[in-house]
Amino acid sequence: MGILREINKVRIVIALGGNALLKRGEALTIDAQKENAKRACKLIAEVARSHQVTLTHGNGPQVGMLALQAASHDASKPYPFDVLDAESEGMIGYQLSQQLRNFLSEKKIATLLTQIEVDPNDSAFLHPTKFIGPGYDKIQAEALAHTHQWTIKADGQYFRRVIASPQPLRILELEIIKLLLDAGVLVICCGGGGIPVIREATGDYEGVEAVIDKDLASSLLAREIKADCFVILTDVMGVMKNWGDSFAEVIKEIAVSDLEAMHFPEGSMLPKIKAACEFVKKTGHRAYIGALDDLPEILAGNAGTVIDLTI
């Protein structure tokens, strides 16, 4: 089952969860983010030593914090989310590339701001699902929603702001990413799902108020660069059967068709399932979902959930 035993130099896309970078309930301090980035990069560096890794990451907690900061500057004219997405991609990409460099001094590493085209008529603009920012208790969240005209939804025991999360259609910098990969560069890209842009009738690109799901953006990237495997790292041990019950257990391996028949919550596990299934169906290769700390074991086939065409 372990892919690393089957192919010598594997092209791997690793998607790092925003919540794996900042543990739930943990303060959004730069120290906490640095510590978590270090922990993640130590594990990823070990894989990147012998394989071609492309790293993507989430930005849910961070982009929400940047939105709060921007609102405190001038609440009447908040910075739009495309700009905040770019800021968070720069902030997290900077931290990841610095930590990776510390572990992998021999490797060329580059962080690339990535714009991703979305459809301006995507129905996601009418139904926000993407959690951003910190978790609040219900009363706090309702007060904030009233003040700022936010949409809020329950995320486990907390309440969080949600915004539109349209489908990623096209990675504008794809050719540049491929050039970098061919030159042996470890590329950090599609951070926070990339920066959502639309193409206007004039042919010009314009940013839009949304946060693309990083799992879906990473799946698109993994397909486009013909990755041999796609790994989604998060803060749970894998895809759980009976999630939320005391008898919940990790699904060790599952066929795409069986996984697609199950139900998962929007805005957290569902995009990972869609992203993984899409990759497996289009490439015939496996996708893996599991906990950051288990990365070596996931790739060895001993932890997490493996998604395959058939099992």
* Interaction between residue 19 and ligand ADP (CB under 6 A): yes
User: Beta 11-16 vs 52-57: how paired, if at all?
Assistant: parallel
Stretch of 13-21, 46-54, 104-112, 118-126 contacting ligand ADP, by CB under 6 A: 13-21
Residue list 231-290, contact with ligand ADP (CB under 6 A): 234-236, 239-240, 243, 264-265, 268-269
Nearer to ligand ADP, 79 or 158 (CB): 158
Residue list 39-68, contact with ligand ADP (CB under 6 A): 58, 60
Q: Give the single-character DSSP code of 59.
A: -
**Distances in whole angstroms, Cα of residue 103 to Cα of each of 38, 45, 65, 232:** 9, 6, 28, 21
Does residue 130 carry a catalytic annotation? yes
* CB 234, min distance to ligand ADP, A: 3
* Interaction between residue 71 and ligand ADP (CB under 6 A): no
Q: Which of 14, 17, 208, 216 binds ligand ADP (CB under 6 A)?
A: 17
**Distances in whole angstroms, Cα of residue 240 to Cα of each of 168, 208, 281:** 26, 34, 21
Nearer to ligand ADP, 92 or 198 (CB): 92
The amino acid sitting at 260 is: E
Long-range CB pairs of 282-286 (<8 Å, 24+ gap) are 282/223, 283/222, 283/223, 283/226, 283/227, 284/309, 285/227, 285/228, 285/229, 285/230, 286/3, 286/229, 286/230
Query: Where on the chain is the footprint of ligand ADP (CB under 6 A)?
Result: 17-20, 58, 60, 156, 234-236, 239-240, 243, 264-265, 268-269
What are the residue numbers of the active site? 18-19, 130, 214, 272
